Amino acid sequence: MQTFLNQVAKHILENHQNELLDIAIVLPNRRSHVFLKEELAKEIDQNIWAPKIYSLEDFVAELSDLANLDQLDLILELYEIHKQIEQEKAELLDEFLNWGNILLHDFNEVDRYLVDADELYAFLSEARALEVWNVDTGEITDFQKKYLAFWKKMGRYYHLFRAQLTASKKAYQGLSFRIAAEEIEKRAERIPYKKIYFAGFNALTKAEEIVLKHFESIGTGQFLWDADSFYMKDKNQEAGKFLRKQLNLSNPNLWIQNHFKDSEKAIDIYGISGQIGQAKLVGEILTKAGEKNTAVVLADENLLIPILDSIPKEIETFNVTMGYPLSNASLYDFFEKYLQLCQQIEAETSKNNYFYKDLIPFLEHPIWKSLSRELEEAVQSILQKVKSQNILFLNIKSLESINSTLGISLFEANNNGEQIIQKLIQFCLKIDAEPSLSSSILNREMNYNFLKCFNRILEFTSEATAISAKALLQLYRQVVSTYDVSFIGEPLSGLQIMGVLETRTLDFENIIITSLNEGILPSGKTQNTFIPFDIKRKFEMPSYKEKDAIFAYHFYRLIQRAKNIHLIYNSNSSGLNAGEKSRFILQLENEIQSYNPNITINNRQINTKMLKNELESTIIQNNEGIQEKIIQHLKNGISPSAINTFLTCTLDYYYKYILNLETVEEVSEEIELSDFGSIVHKALENLYRPYINQILDKIAIQEIKSKSDTVLFDAFKAKLNQEPNTGNLKIAYEVSKIYLQKLVKLDESEIKLGNEIIIKDLEVPFLKPLHLFDYGIKIKGIIDRIDTFNGKTRIIDYKTGKVEDKDLIIRKLDPLIEGKLSKAFQMLCYYAAIKQEFANVEVGIISLKMKETKFIPLQLVVAELDEHPEEELIKMIFDELVSMMTIKLSRFEHNTNSQYCNFCK
């Protein structure tokens, strides 16, 4: 396979071998330099001086003689312009950052496409005025006036910003290109080369086109295009959109080749769910493909770390051309959460209390465990206190133990921006001194880059008169977004891992592209701009359509020389555009084989189970030790909920009742369902307990009604350590009132009908033996209410969830044993345990959620009753249950149909 850069190298050597010092080559990016030099070296057998190789950005910077500033410097320069224009009406920095970055992006586009800024912003201002014009009154509001004034000032912002930058020989990229284009005849004289090759370009902005075409027009410049007739000669192919404009297709000397027409290719298309699934699949493909002449291309660069973790051991050499975004590091999240805490306490009235929603995620960050045991214990102690007591606001003094153990006063009121950043710098130095955290090269590099970020921000905060924590958080996000952690690797050998833009001008025999989904590649309508689509079209500025066409070219150019092509898309069906193949895949599926029958396409849907998904492959084999624990559980007393857990998912039962794992407590402003049920049960107990062993009458009902609200309020306060006066607790309290009223109304209506109700007991714990097998088992639980209804004993369970009559009808035994009738099984357990104590008893549920609140009795109507007495049938059911839990049980595994597992979800 001849690569494009090899073709470039041969062309240059054939025409200029003895005058390479007079030659310059301009490539789309810096990444290609080393590959081109390697191709030049392959073609010659003597030591020579290499030609000058530029990236386009470096070439234009030399022409413009301006220094490009980074994003932070640019936004701060623009903020100075904002203050100059708005004077006392200027927004705070955090408010300005919300729209300042968008304005910067638009200025860059305006200059790259040589748009008349005055004409554009005047047109935009008029368009906005038409939007708010009131045809009926002709009047506009004060807010609309302010809105229109903003658009009218855009042109002024642009000109002042440009003047301020150029006066100090500074620029953003678009401004450098514009100045180079506007003064190209004069500035071109700075370039001393006799011949300049522009190799591997596709879409050129207007400024780029003027600059490069100028050199072509004076005989110095020459374009070396990389194209294929598959997408060039078909006007419907967006991949060829820009090159068709640049090229005269009748010119026989152009480098338009027929790779798609003449070569054999194997294209494998994989649909697989999730990022981890994609990464594991890449690992399996690499096991077969090997590292030689292979590239993994990440359309979504967030896949980098999962991909690195999935590289098979057989791959000894690999190179990561892309930097790992610092914003993806675990420490980024830690520092962001700290700044959010600072922002929250700055806005808090007393300046002394942290809100649990901000505090808990910060304290639960894994970094605390790595610093010291004492620090971890201090953090865990505070977390336990917050969760166990359901504390919504924690006083700053309660965190002093962390400050003293850490040696840094992280939790402190009234910090200014500079003090906050100084503390984060101290924290980075603390990490650097901790061997367990600094031993990893990657961790050390990340920490070093965070230090650079904070020192960069410190330069600004030291100069600023005052900066809020809110603005600091936005600055942090902006600065960190510009930093990458670079990986060290061999750029010319081994597996290459790169982003899409880094593949420009490069070719590989084996290509693996991940996240090839619509909305990712191409990205579609994701542009952040103040300029509407129709106005962009009028001023010939690029929209998402042009961006999609650019990436179409990158995609097809990348695969045009490859032999083995693996295209992976995320088939996960959740989210917008989720699971949708990229249009590039659909185009290949529908067009490529008719164009060249020697290209094969295989479509595969990969189940993540095939990739050894750890969660679903968790299987615990039963053994004598585990079986003994199960038997002991049965002997000590097993609850209906434990039985239903076993029937629903044996693995969840194993975690909860054999290993005795506990679910993690969480603080919540919203009341948990379990707490909600407990409060209602407690309130009903307190309401009815004074009337035990009494016949309920009208007087008792009226007394219960009068006390209902107060008793419920007290139950909320006792359970949650707070009064249900606001927010979601207030809503839960009002719903609970309705539930209590429903039960009282039910009892009242029964009394009016002449029925006699006597409350016998409430919230009764029980532990009753069932004599089955050679060892007895016991059933335990709590009966919410025992009463007599016209002399018949009722065992009643209150439910705050939905229950229907059919839920308590047992027609067949199989659904019961399979865990499909959990409420019926619970009532059967109650019935089996206590029926010996009462001659005439029925068990059932009162659902307080149902529109019609009533007593729903358990009904055993199975056909087997015709052949077996009720007692014998119940024994058969529990015999089968015990057998399933002991003799028949070979292993514990997750039931994929179980939706409510606590530990294997």
Got the DSSP string for 94-139? HHHHHHHHHHHHHHHHHHHTT--HHHHHHHHHHHHHHHH--TTT--
Cα–Cα distance for residue pair 647/625, rounded to 1 Å:
21
Q: Give tens-digit pLDDT for 9-45.
A: 999 999 998 888 999 999 999 889 889 999 998 888 7
Rounded-to-integer distance, Cα 139 and Cα 705, Å: 58
CA distance 79 to 101: 10
Q: What pLDDT shows up at residue 616?
A: 42
Distant-in-sequence, close-in-space partners of 812: CB < 8 Å, separation ≥ 6: 862
Residue 608, pLDDT above cutoff 70:
no
How far is Cα 852 from Cα 869, in angstroms, rounded to an integer? 34
Query: Which is nearest to 216 in space by CA: 234, 198, 202?
Result: 198
The residue with tokens 């000894």 is: 316
- Selection from 579-583, 612-616, 796-800 with the highest mean pLDDT: 796-800
| Spatial distance between the Cα atoms of 550 and 522, rounded to a whole number of angstroms | 9
Q: Of 23-37, 567-581, 641-655, 840-854, where does mean pLDDT reach its minimum?
A: 567-581
Give the angle subtended at the CA of 193 by the CAs of 190 and 194, to the nearest 5°: 130
How far apart CA 727 and CA 720 sit, in angstroms, is 14
Residues facing residue 636 across a β-bridge: none
Average of pLDDT values for 602-608? 83
Residue 666 reports pLDDT greater than 70: no
- Percent of the chain whose predicted confidence (pLDDT) is above 90: 42
What are the DSSP E strand ranges found in 559-694? 564-570, 599-605, 619-621
- For residue 725, the model assigns a pLDDT of 80
The whole-number average pLDDT for the span 107-115 is 96
Q: Where are the beta strands (DSSP E) in 800-875?
A: 809-810, 841-847, 855-857, 859-860
For residue 614, the model assigns a pLDDT of 40
What was the pLDDT predicted at 582? Answer: 93
pTM confidence score: 0.66
pLDDT at 613: 43
Kindly tell me if the per-residue pLDDT of 205 is higher than 70.
yes
Average pLDDT over residues 793-809: 92
Question: Of 556, 588, 567, which is closest to residue 512 (Cα–Cα)?
Answer: 567
Does residue 884 surpass a pLDDT of 80?
A: yes
Residue 405 above 50 pLDDT? yes
Name the residue ranges covered by the structural domains of the chain.
4-66+181-224, 71-167, 261-323+503-611, 327-485, 625-893
CA 489 to CA 497: how far, in whole Å?
10
pLDDT the model gives residue 254: 62
Strands (E), 120-194: 170-171
- pLDDT classification of 554: cutoffs 50, 70, 90: very high
* Residue 757 β-bridge partners: 789
The Cα angle at residue 315 between residues 312 and 319, in degrees rounded to 5: 115
Above 80 in pLDDT, residue 448? yes
Distance CA 905, CA 602 (A): 33
pLDDT at 396 over 50: yes
Q: What is the pLDDT of residue 46?
A: 76
Question: Is the pLDDT higher at 356 or at 513?
Answer: 513
Q: What is the pLDDT of residue 252?
A: 46
What's 514's DSSP letter?
E
Give 522: exposed, middle or buried? Use CB within 10 Å, 0-12, 13-18, 19+: buried
Rounded mean pLDDT of the chain? 85
| Separation of alpha carbons 31 and 322, rounded Å | 10
pLDDT at 440 over 70: no
Cα–Cα dist 582/587, whole Å: 9
Helix ranges restricted to H, 527-672: 533-538, 544-559, 583-587, 593-595, 624-636, 640-648, 650-653
- What is the tens place of the pLDDT at every residue in 408-420? 888 877 678 888 9
3-state secondary structure at position 859: strand
Mention the CATH class of domain 261-323+503-611: alpha beta
Q: For residue 765, which of 780, 779, 786 has the smallest C-alpha distance? A: 780
- In 3D space, the residue among 724, 763, 759 whose CA is nearest the CA of residue 744 turns out to be 759
- Name the 3-class secondary structure at 622: coil
Here the contacts of 96-99 (C-beta below 8 Å, separation 24 or greater) are 97/471, 97/474, 97/475, 97/478, 98/474, 99/530
**pLDDT at residue 667 greater than cutoff 50:** no
Q: Hunting for tokens 């409430």 — which residue is that?
A: 762
pLDDT for 609: 56
pLDDT at 258 over 90: yes
List Cβ neighbours of 491 (8 Å cut-off, separation of 6 or more): 34, 35, 319, 321
Tokens standing for residue 273 = 């769910």
Coil/strand/helix, residue 270: strand
Q: Please tell me the distance from the alpha carbon of residue 473 to that of residue 420, in angstroms, as a whole number.
A: 11
Q: Any idea which residue has 């904002």 for tokens?
A: 82
Q: Residues near 871 by Cβ (< 8 Å), separated by ≥ 6?
A: none
- Looking at 110-124, 166-180, 350-364, 675-689, which range is the least confident one? 350-364
Tokens 């909305």 locate to 519
Nearest to 568 by CA among 125, 269, 309, 330: 269
Tell me if the bond preceding 522 is cis, omega within 30° of 0. yes
- CB proximity list for 547: less than 8 A, separation 6 or greater: 522, 523, 527
pLDDT of 392 above 90: no
Q: Give the SS3 label for residue 310.
A: helix
Read off the pLDDT of each residue in 510-534 and give the average, rounded to a whole number. 87
Are 777 and 769 in contact by the 8 Å Cβ rule? The answer is yes
Q: What average pLDDT score do residues 615-636 get?
A: 80
The predicted model gives 209-221 an average pLDDT of: 93
Q: Which residues contact 142 (CB under 8 A, 6 or more apart)?
A: none
The CATH classification number of 4-66+181-224 equals: 3.40.50
Residue 716, H or E segment: helix 698-720
Mean pLDDT of 353-375: 83
> Positive or negative, the Cα torsion across 446, 449, 455, 461?
negative
CATH of 625-893, one of 2.20.25, 1.20.120, 1.10.3470, 3.90.320: 3.90.320
pLDDT bucket at 501, cuts 50 / 70 / 90: very high
Cα–Cα distance between 342 and 339 in angstroms, integer? 5
CA 758/CA 747 separation, integer angstroms: 11
Contact partners, residue 616, CB within 8 Å, separation at least 6: 608, 609, 894, 896
Question: What was the pLDDT predicted at 179?
Answer: 94
Which pairs from 370-377 meet CB under 8 Å and 24+ separation?
370/434, 370/436, 370/437, 371/406, 371/430, 371/431, 371/434, 371/437, 372/405, 374/405, 375/402, 375/405, 375/406
Q: Which of the four pLDDT bands, split at 50, 70 and 90, describes residue 610?
A: low
* C-alpha distance from residue 445 to each of 304, 449, 452, 457, 484 (Å): 16, 6, 11, 18, 10
The identity of residue 236, as a single letter, is: N
Question: Is a pLDDT exceeding 90 seen at residue 506?
Answer: yes
For residues 742-765, average pLDDT: 95
- Return the minimum-mean-pLDDT range out of 329-343, 510-524, 612-626, 764-778: 612-626
Does the pLDDT of residue 612 top 50, yes or no? no
Q: Higher model confidence: residue 688 or residue 362? A: 688
Domains 4-66+181-224 and 625-893 share a fold: no
Q: Which of 18, 36, 16, 17 shows the shortest CA–CA distance to 26?
A: 36
Q: Please enumerate, as own/partner, the contacts of 700-709 that have beta carbons within 8 Å and a separation of 24 or more.
A: 701/744, 701/747, 701/748, 701/751, 704/744, 705/741, 705/744, 708/683, 708/737, 708/740, 708/741, 708/744, 709/737
Residue 144 pLDDT: 65
User: The dihedral of CA 222, 228, 234, 240: what is its sign?
Assistant: negative
Mean local confidence (pLDDT), 673-701: 91
pLDDT at 113 (0 to 100): 96
Q: Is the pLDDT of residue 611 over 80?
A: no
